[in-house]
Amino acid sequence: MADSIVKVENLTKHFEELLVLENVSIEVLRAENLIVFGKSGSGKSVLLKCIIGLMKPDSGDILINNQHILELSLKQLNKVRKDIGFLFQGAALYDSMTVRENLSFPLKRHFDDMTPKEIDDKVKYTLELVSLEEAIDKMPSELSGGMKKRIGLARSIITDPALMLYDEPTTGLDPITSKEISELILNLQKKLDMTSIVVTHDLICAEIIADRAIFLKDAHVAFEGNIDELTKSKDPFLKNFFSHEIIKV
Ligand SMILES: Nc1ncnc2c1ncn2[C@@H]1O[C@H](COP(=O)(O)OP(=O)(O)O)[C@@H](O)[C@H]1O
Ligand SMILES: [Mg+2]
């Protein structure tokens, strides 16, 4: 049996009378990249928030590393979260801190046994991974949009998470920067052996990153398979969705 890092079983989530997810089940294998597609408002961000325990589903089960996270105490949950990195939509750097301070922050919070030298070395190493060593003493206001995204990415992987969750990592970037960020996500995943769940509606990003994709529609997983199958689907809804995406990018 393949080793799964995330298992979502029959997840249902309402907001009052709005049914966002109904009996959604997904499994993500270790070192796999799963893309989650869906129109705006289809529950993609809600799904990610449930997976990291920021939102409680109405029913269903979520296992991370074979642990039922809905049954954990906050202390136990925080231990599981230590192994999860996330890059949320519009995630901002701390404006009043340098890049070095921004990247040191998660290390100081999670690892109280690291020395200042170890922290600094880890910051430099991680900046190298995103090819921005020279930005170490810059303030966020001195960086371009693409550079900020790279630093945000560096900050979310600096604690060596086994699982990375990305919510629209390329939204708001021009197509070239989008492609660079997508390639960076793929390279980091390979180099660091990470598992990633990437919510996006950027088809170019998905084609670069994906091993497998799911499509959320009407609170359900309407499709599951590889990107090629998805983009070549004869299903009128999917055809329409992807023809619009291709025109947009
Ligand atoms: N905290 C909340 N309270 C009420 N409704 C919410 C909340 N979070 C999300 N929703 C609603 O749930 C639906 C799915 O939201 P979301 O997962 O953010 O969509 P998307 O697929 O665009 O990421 C939307 O209709 C949104 O308005
Ligand atoms: Mg969203």
Among protein residues, the one with the nearest Cα to ligand 1's atom 26 is 41
Q: Looking at residue 172, what is its pLDDT?
A: 84
- Cβ of 20 closer than 6 Å to ligand 1, yes or no, is yes
Q: What is the pLDDT of residue 33?
A: 94
**Cα 153 from Cα 156, distance rounded (Å):** 5
Asked whether 200 lines ligand 1 (CB < 6 A), one says no
State the first-to-last Cα distance of the chain, in angstroms, to the nearest integer: 39
**In this model, does residue 249 exceed pLDDT 50?**
no
Ligand with the closest atom to the CA of 166: 2
Positive/negative CA dihedral, 121, 125, 128, 132: negative
What number is the average pLDDT over the span 90-98? Answer: 87
**33 and 150 both lie in a single domain:** no
- Mean pLDDT over residues 77-98, rounded? 88
Instruction: Please name which of 5, 29, 33 lies closest in space to residue 190, comparing C-alpha atoms.
Output: 33
Domain range for 45 is 4-83+163-248
Task: Report the atom number in ligand 1 closest to the C-alpha of 48.
Answer: 17
The pLDDT tens digits for 62-84 are 999 999 999 999 999 988 988 99
Residue 123 in domain: yes
Pair 53, 12 in one domain: yes
Summarize the confidence of residues 116-131 as an average pLDDT.
96
Query: Is the CB of residue 208 less than 8 Å from the CB of residue 182?
Result: yes
**Cβ(41) – ligand 1 distance below 6 Å:** yes
* Residue-wise pLDDT tens digits, 188-238: 889 888 999 999 988 889 999 998 999 999 999 999 999 888 888 888 888
> Is the predicted pLDDT of residue 246 greater than 90, yes or no?
no
Q: Are residues 77 and 173 in the same domain?
A: yes
pLDDT at 181 over 80: yes
Instruction: Name the domain boundary from 111, 135, 160.
Output: 160
* Calpha distance 97→152 (Å, rounded): 13
Nearest of 212, 209, 168, 169 to residue 190 by alpha carbon: 209
Average per-residue pLDDT for the chain: 91
pLDDT band at 127, cuts 50/70/90?
very high
CB 232 within 8 A of CB 55: no
CA separation for the pair 130, 134 (Å, rounded): 11
